[in-house]
Structure 1
């Protein structure tokens, strides 16, 4: 299916009214407060940053490529807010484009490269950092910097109100429904980002894909409980290009191109479904279509989106 045809079909499906309505969250397909604001937080995904705090409560988690073939998380909250989230790390250019589909969310991060500041200032985001809301952040003396910064999500949203506030969830393209016919039985999958890997294993008892970053096994939240997992994992293959941003060591930060179209794979219920993703413009939803040209339904619940470089 060509790029133009794919985009036209995607937009037609959106106009046809496929979006969840009422009190069903467009981010999870589950019942949630209709007016709860959206908060995105940049979270460390290095070995030093694990175990995470609060990530298990996110509606959507994006795994983004960053410097040196490693990754960082962009955790999106609305349905539930944990008491704490972290370790909080710095923003990247990719975050701005990913979040453009969400309307005007809050974005919390520890800082950013100076070159990125104008882009962040001009984006439809309510940004919150330790410089603008010191009371919302704390350092854990038991962990080493920079992987020791944590934030209170409720305080983050309160601080975001002075930066234009955060809007409730809107349709970002996800479609939820029963397990479709077909697909391949898959119990384990390893996805490579370069020097970093993300392992996935299907847990039929919990109905979750358990995430295993770096081959280090499942991640139990810092506060305890079940391993972190997702009802659905979207493996979204994207091109990357060097950005003008460099980290403190001088390494070039890759920019994940999430506008356009490309190959994808939907993992749910222990099965894998090949797909194509399409997003004509930054403010448009990302539509995921199967070989039949129809949306591939996700399982209701938390979603992880792996932005995998091609």
Structure 2
């Protein structure tokens, strides 16, 4: 299994220095072309150019940090989720849910609670070109797959200095990652090889104030806030908050309809672990700016990002800011 030991951390820091120079050049070129960055002007739909962050070919861009985050009621409020560029929500055993938070433009002080990995995470994360995956625990039969996957696995066993235990909760809901103990700086927008595009919204779309996604034992509700220009997140009927008491509020929400099938794995209670297929094509609902857009998604191979288009074939642009992708079973 690939771990992040002292020698590797040193190499990553050296790569990080080169990446900062690279990102400075990319940002300068982007500003010269009139485009924005994730922390730049908010896309208000009135003239921002279409753009799709891509990894420059052949250049050494540091990897994103992906963290498997607990979403049981006892784990809330979570720490650091609001700083993620992308948050993926997926169904796990017993019909409950879990999150994957992906960081490229900002590294929070702490992220968690950190929980175990699943088989479908490996396919989902292939698009990021050897990401760092922070998780705690996995089934013994899954470990060989993780070891062979093109990622750097960081666990409390491989990198104990990167994790801490909170005193205000009981295990397993009290394990937190300290990202700065893994990397000095965020890798930058070029590491976000998701295939997402940011820019002006399509001309169509229906006014929508709220949308709920239901799993067998969990649900997500997104409510539009015109005052904040964001979608306020609720989970299982309660507001989803940061540890500071603020609402989690992405700029764009994607409900991506996928195949969710049985895998070859079960939990200790005998519940089958669902496998969420993220390669292929299908339908999606995209929420941005108080409107809902019916879209098509396509991801030809695991190494590819996911592209979204309208029914007429126009590229489906997202609003600048955090993106939530909620995987829902195709009706």
TM-score by length of 1: 0.85
Partner of 1:3: none
- Cα drift, residue 250 of structure 1: 2.1
Partner of 2:197: 175
| Closer/same/farther in 2, CA of residues 186 and 167 from structure 1, 3 Å limit | closer
Partner of 2:128: 102
CA contact (8 A) 1:108 1:156 kept: no
* Aligned residue runs from structure 1 range 133-152, under 5 A: 133-152=159-178
- Distance of 1:22 and 1:92 partners within structure 2: 35
CA contact (8 A) 1:105 1:167 kept: no
2:303 matches 1:283: yes
Partner of 2:153: 127
| Closer/same/farther in 2, CA of residues 209 and 29 from structure 1, 3 Å limit | farther
- Distance of 2:93 and 2:132 partners within structure 1: 24
Q: Deviations over 1:72-108 (max 9, x none)?
A: 0000001111100100000011111111011111000
Unaligned runs of 5+ in 1: 1-20, 159-164
Candidates 241, 250, 256, aligned match of 1:220: 241
CA contact (8 A) 2:104 2:189 kept: no
- Distance of 2:235 and 2:156 partners within structure 1: 27
Partner of 1:9: none
Which stretches of structure 1, 4 residues or longer, exceed 4 Å deviation after superposition? 31-36, 165-168
2:214 matches 1:201: no
Partner of 1:301: 321
How many residues matched? 279
- Cα drift, residue 171 of structure 1: 2.9
- Distance of 1:260 and 1:138 partners within structure 2: 38
SS of corresponding position for 2:287 = strand
Partner of 1:22: 26
- Distance of 2:147 and 2:296 partners within structure 1: 32
Task: Name which of structure 1's ranges 187-196 and 83-92 shifts more when overlaid on structure 2.
Answer: 187-196
TM-score by length of 2: 0.80
Candidates 173, 186, 189, aligned match of 2:211: 189
- Distance of 1:167 and 1:286 partners within structure 2: 16
2:287 matches 1:261: no
Task: Name which of structure 1's ranges 243-252 and 46-55 shifts more when overlaid on structure 2.
Answer: 243-252
Q: CA RMSD in A?
A: 2.2
Candidates 77, 81, 99, aligned match of 2:107: 81
Task: Name which of structure 1's ranges 265-274 and 35-44 shifts more when overlaid on structure 2.
Answer: 35-44
- Distance of 2:156 and 2:312 partners within structure 1: 48
CA contact (8 A) 2:92 2:273 kept: yes
Q: Deviations over 1:95-134 (max 9, x none)?
A: 1111101111100001111111111111110110000011
Partner of 2:3: none
Partner of 1:50: 76
